[in-house]
Structure 1
Amino acid sequence: MRYSLIFTLLLLCIIGFGSVPLNTIDSLKNELTITEGEAKVELLIQISEAYRNLHSSYCIDYGISAIDESKLLQNKELEAKALKSLGISTYYSGKFDDALLYYQNSLELYSKLDDKKQMAACYNNIGIVYEELAEFDMALEFYKKSFEYEKQLDNKKGIGISLISLGNIFYYQNTYHLAIDNYFQALLIFQKINNKWGIAYVYNSIGIIYRLWNDLDNSVMYFEKSKLIYEEIEDEVGLSKVLCNLGELYSDEPKDYKNALKYFNQSISIKKKLEDKIGIALLYNNFGTLYAKMENYEKALSYFNDSYLLYSEMKSITGLVMVEQNIGKLYFQFEDYNTAAEKFTNSLKMATKAKMDNYISSNYKELMSCYALTLDTESFKKYYNLYNSKNDSIINHLRLSRLYDIESKYVIEQLLITSNKLSEENQLKEQEIRQLRLIMAGLGGLIILIIFSYVLFLKIRK
């Protein structure tokens, strides 16, 4: 099952995703009729973004108008801004090819303007699209470029986001110790700058890693921490992601299907309201998995097919790898082993091309089971050997040890930071006490001087 790593939330650090009341949009449109020049372009961008999670076609139309107007004005800065904004909108609409084009054109303009802050944002956003397309090497290249610019700018929030992005790639490449190391580094940064959005994001990501390592208690703890913060800051997008992850967790180990269904329904209601096509596709898959476990196979297949259609429209390889495998599992339960093997093979081909090790290994295991039951000895041996080579228990144990070592390093660093803060506070208190003592000594001396002067005065009077 593919956990929601929230790539889309990374975009929120650049531009908001909240709901905009229709009367606000009407007000902006009225203002548009009496506005010209650069102000008109800014208004077109605002209206486009206001429609982003209300009406995708209006959103894109206004975004294109903003680009056209900025070109007429020959204002490269506004054109770059409009292009980047439309890149975000088309990404959320699942039009990844269009999103890439808009981001690349925006990056080209910002490069000419030498706007490093916006260049870093564009590099990050391009990486997000490549990540969704399962082109992880390309995603990694763009994330690293973004990271370098953020470090040059000493942009703490940007550095944290880049660390998360790099962590996500390591997650997909099944190098979880590298993923969680990046997440903890990001967490330290977000805690230092008191960025609650970033803290919630990282908690959710860490929860996913612990879930994959079957550490249920830590996974729930981090998911709940993330959920509380998202509720506090009223971030519906983030909340929908962590609700989805909690649903997946409860549908697996505890087999608490009632709670799983509750979390999935809460999540999808938010995703539909926000027109989050990527999130809806993932939830359809999750509903399919849940209903399969509840032995409602007809409903499960219907949800899987809906998910497959959405991922196909978006050309999302990571999504298709997951859904193909899950449909294969369903046909396996139907005892249609040939169709199941066909689905697992399709998933395996895409996973191999995308270097998604976790899915490569699990597809080997599924194909091994199919060929064992169809008495295809040669194919069984092939996938048995491939699966064993990928699933060395000693290697997995070492990976888990690394995971805990990384968390220990983070905890120690947190204690050092706390200790340093306490030391600084104690030093300030000691300094304040010394100053107070000096003041008191001065006051005491002054009082003695006054008393002495008064006594001397009385003696003189006598």
Structure 2
Amino acid sequence: MYFFRVIFIASMLLIGTTQADELDDIEINFREQPRQLHSTVVSSTPKSLRYLSLKEFQASASELGYTSGQLINQLILLARLDLDAQVLVPGRLEQALEIIELLKIIARSDYEKAALYNLEGRYLGRVDQQYQQTVALNQQALEQLGEAEDKRSQLLRYVIYEDLGTVNLIAKQPIPSLNAYNLLRDTAYQLRNDYLIANAEAALGKYYNVNDQQTKSLQHYTEAFRLASRYNHPNQKALLQLNLAKLYRDMEQWDEALEFAHGAADAYKSMGSGSFLSHTMTVIAMVYANTGEWNKAIDYYLNAQQLDAELKNFIAQGLNFHNLGEAYFNLNDHQVALDYLFQANAIFKDRKSNHYLVYNEMLIAEVSQAMEDWPLTMQHATEALRLAKLLELPQEQIEALGYQTHAYKAQGQYQQALLSQEQSFQLQQELLEQERNTNSNVSSSAVTEQKLKLEVSQLRQEKLQQQDSLHTRNILLAITLGLSLLLLALATQQYKLRKRMAKINLAQKTKMQQEPITSLPGYLALLGSVSSTTKGLALLSLEDELNSDLTLGNSLAAPRLAQLAEDIAAITGAKVFLLRPGLFALTLTEETRPAQLYRQLSDWQFQGLAPKLALGYIPLPLLANPDVKLSPETLVETAQLALAGAISLQNNQGSYVGFSTLDFTPAAIFSAPLYLQLQKSIIRGLIRVETNGEKDKIHWPEVLQPSRSEHVSII
């Protein structure tokens, strides 16, 4: 349904009957379904975009059945889509540049020229990171639009403010960025579109988070979520989850950060958005880095790096190399850290990304200082200082001077070290003076003015919305009331039916998971109980009870088995499942050793409360690699082999056998036929066996080689 809506919107753009609401829908679909919209627009665009004059272009448009204005609108939209990060079509950047060059020939109206300036600025910023030119071209676009208030011009103004806010934020220009984002929200309220308002609120949330004002950031993200809850647009929701993950990360609320980040990752996986999925994995890695779990951080950085390499997202690759360098530096693996940082340096230099390069040079200097490689420290501290001066970043200049000073001292160049210290002190004094001036002037002028302007605009929009609502309320009231009564009757009937069916389904599901004789939780319940919180799985055989259903009859065996299950649970603190008479399964939520569990059960046995026992045990997770998960069926069958080994010892006092794996044990050993693979792995030493008996007296079950291969489920 959503796909047909995209096609309808694109067709409206082409046939020239686009109304205000349809323009809004195009903007929303651009952000929600850019790849589908791109495919639709490309299918109805001329294959060749090479025209030498406006007259030639107009003639071609006429042959296709369009006016020149309609076809120009389509080309503007196509160029925007080509420059979108989610559109991964080969040759898209070349096509965008070709459209920009064509627009320089055919653009005539103020709107078309403004759109051209915006596209040219976006291209320079995205492809060459020439952010100053991006800002200048977008300012030209605003001047070209002037005071135009038609819907198309307002939407273009919205796009321009968003680009200005983002570019100034990247270039660390906080005041211009805040002004642009406030004007973005002002324009969104003029457009009266909840989706675009939520997008503007989220942009302000991002701004305040980047500038260490987390309380304000959370307020804006909360408002964005409130507005976004009125509709279902998965891309916007995923982006809000991603940004909230960053916010909670910066607020050092790690659990919330991981919750929102994993929610965003799941959404981007389902949407097939590789670039945003990579970014989300980087956020998860940063959370682990902030909590000192550097190995987990490295795993997620490497996953993000693999995605970025496939997408040929060079800047993202450079950032991941930088982050990997930082991680290995914190693990004191300095040489590996430098290897990654030099790879990041090469990418940032090639892409002319000085705003990233300055921090990478700084980190190389820090790692070199830790290695006491003073020439290398001096080289990269000097380069970082040069870049920080070029980008007018005083705080970064101070840090670079610190590394430089340290290197000078270590090499006995005390005069140069003194000069570096003096420069650092002077910069610190200038920063303090600027901070005083900023607090006294900026807060009372530009920011206050923007805030008042925004509040007035919001009040005006709320008044207009109320007036519009009054015109239609009376007409719709009677219709709404009748429909509401009808829907209420239908909903009540459906609710009762669903409630009754839910009770039946729950009863059937519960019954299916029970052992038939005793109604205790059985095999299916055991499979559903094994989760990431389970720390151990054990199978317990009570020899005298194995045929109790035959020797005592069901009427006597059932209460006896139920009492035994209750006693076992009380002794071990485990969840207990009855697989068949005399055979119990235990799942434990705390780490334990098979000997400890066996001792608890043996003490119970020696009190005369239970028959002779045999115990098979495996710890969970069974493999060292947390990304490889074995199915519950495989884990139960592994514990069965351990129990079979324990029973074979035939010890009058009872026996146990426990399995554990080595760090390098591969997941492939848990393939069918499982018993055969496990026994081979025991012989090869990939699986440790722990028992209270003699290992060489264990008789493992004989397994025949299967006639065809089977595969175990590895999640």
Shorter chain as denominator, the TM-score bin is: 0.5 to 0.7
Bigger Cα Rg: 2
Q: Residue 221 in 1 paired to residue 259 in 2?
A: yes
Q: Residue 70 in 1 paired to residue 70 in 2?
A: no
Deviations 1:28-48 (A, max 9, x none): 453658546345535644664
Deviations 1:373-419 (A, max 9, x none): 99999999999xx8xxx9xxxxxxxxxxxxxxxxxxxxxxxxxxxxx
More RCO (CA 8 Å, sep 6+): 1
Q: 1:322 to 1:184 in 2, by over 3 A?
A: farther
Deviations 1:187-215 (A, max 9, x none): 22222333332222222222223223433
2:338 aligns with one of 289, 298, 301: 301
Q: Residue 41 in 1 paired to residue 59 in 2?
A: no
* Distance of 2:214 and 2:401 partners within structure 1: 20
The aligned counterpart of 1:92 is: 126
* Distance of 1:20 and 1:117 partners within structure 2: 18
Q: Residue 131 in 1 paired to residue 140 in 2?
A: no
* Distance of 1:306 and 1:92 partners within structure 2: 21
The aligned counterpart of 1:323 is: 360
Deviations 1:360-384 (A, max 9, x none): 998899899989999999999999x
**2:104/2:116 contact within 8 Å kept:** no
Q: 1:274 to 1:39 in 2, by over 3 A?
A: farther
Deviation at 1:25, TM superposition (A): 6.0
Q: Residue 111 of structure 2 aligns to which amino acid in structure 1?
A: E
The aligned counterpart of 2:138 is: 103
* Distance of 2:399 and 2:266 partners within structure 1: 33
Q: 1:318 to 1:187 in 2, by over 3 A?
A: farther
Q: 1:188 to 1:57 in 2, by over 3 A?
A: closer
Q: 1:226 to 1:47 in 2, by over 3 A?
A: closer
Q: Residue 140 in 1 paired to residue 171 in 2?
A: no
Deviation at 1:122, TM superposition (A): 0.4
SS in 2 for 1:192: coil
**Counting helix residues as a fraction of each chain, which structure ranks higher?**
1
**2:30/2:37 contact within 8 Å kept:** no
- Is there any run of 5+ residues in structure 2 with no aligned partner, and where? 1-26, 51-59, 63-67, 433-480, 490-715
Q: 1:145 to 1:108 in 2, by over 3 A?
A: same
Deviations 1:131-178 (A, max 9, x none): 111122221121121121112222222222222222333223222222
* Distance of 1:81 and 1:93 partners within structure 2: 18
* Distance of 2:207 and 2:409 partners within structure 1: 34
Q: Residue 41 of structure 1 aligns to which amino acid in structure 2?
A: I
Deviation at 1:328, TM superposition (A): 2.8
The aligned counterpart of 1:113 is: 148
**Counting strand residues as a fraction of each chain, which structure ranks higher?**
2
Task: Compare 271-280 and 161-170 and name the one that shifted more.
Answer: 271-280
* Distance of 1:286 and 1:38 partners within structure 2: 47
Deviations 1:100-138 (A, max 9, x none): 344333333333533222212201111211111112222
Deviations 1:263-283 (A, max 9, x none): 333323443444434323322
The aligned counterpart of 1:236 is: 274
* Distance of 1:243 and 1:105 partners within structure 2: 37
**2:32/2:233 contact within 8 Å kept:** no
1:317-396 to 2 correspondence within 5 Å?
Answer: 318-336=355-373, 340=377
Deviations 1:281-318 (A, max 9, x none): 32221232234345553443243234335445666565
Task: Compare 118-127 and 268-277 and name the one that shifted more.
Answer: 268-277
* Distance of 1:19 and 1:246 partners within structure 2: 29
SS in 1 for 2:279: helix
Q: 1:23 to 1:139 in 2, by over 3 A?
A: closer
Deviations 1:410-449 (A, max 9, x none): xxxxxxxxxxxxxxxxxx99x859x98xxxxxxxxxxxxx
Q: Residue 30 in 1 paired to residue 68 in 2?
A: no
1:284 aligns with one of 321, 326, 336: 321
Deviation at 1:181, TM superposition (A): 2.6
**1:132/1:316 contact within 8 Å kept:** no
The aligned counterpart of 1:175 is: 213
SS in 2 for 1:134: coil
Q: 1:374 to 1:208 in 2, by over 3 A?
A: farther
RMSD over equivalenced CA pairs, Å: 4.6
Deviation at 1:342, TM superposition (A): 7.9
The aligned counterpart of 2:519 is: none
**2:114/2:140 contact within 8 Å kept:** yes
Q: 1:345 to 1:290 in 2, by over 3 A?
A: same
Q: Residue 47 of structure 2 aligns to which amino acid in structure 1?
A: N
* Distance of 2:155 and 2:40 partners within structure 1: 33
SS in 2 for 1:124: helix
Q: Residue 365 of structure 2 aligns to which amino acid in structure 1?
A: G
Q: 1:12 to 1:195 in 2, by over 3 A?
A: closer
* Distance of 2:74 and 2:291 partners within structure 1: 50
SS in 1 for 2:229: helix
* Distance of 2:407 and 2:29 partners within structure 1: 43
**1:183/1:206 contact within 8 Å kept:** yes
TM-score (norm 1): 0.65
1:45-60 to 2 correspondence within 5 Å?
Answer: 45=76, 48=79, 52=83, 53=88, 54-55=90-91, 58-60=94-96
SS in 2 for 1:268: helix
* Percent identity over paired residues: 15
* Distance of 2:224 and 2:142 partners within structure 1: 25
**2:388/2:394 contact within 8 Å kept:** yes
Q: Residue 209 in 1 paired to residue 247 in 2?
A: yes
* Distance of 1:79 and 1:147 partners within structure 2: 24
1:61 aligns with one of 94, 97, 105: 97
- Is there any run of 5+ residues in structure 1 with no aligned partner, and where? 1-9, 391-427, 437-462
* Distance of 1:321 and 1:130 partners within structure 2: 17
Q: 1:19 to 1:198 in 2, by over 3 A?
A: closer
1:265 aligns with one of 302, 306, 309: 302
Q: 1:326 to 1:275 in 2, by over 3 A?
A: same
1:430-449 to 2 correspondence within 5 Å?
Answer: 432=485
* Distance of 1:83 and 1:14 partners within structure 2: 21
Task: Compare 295-304 and 160-169 and name the one that shifted more.
Answer: 295-304
Deviations 1:16-61 (A, max 9, x none): 6549999996984536585463455356446645654433651343
Q: 1:344 to 1:20 in 2, by over 3 A?
A: farther
* Distance of 2:220 and 2:263 partners within structure 1: 19
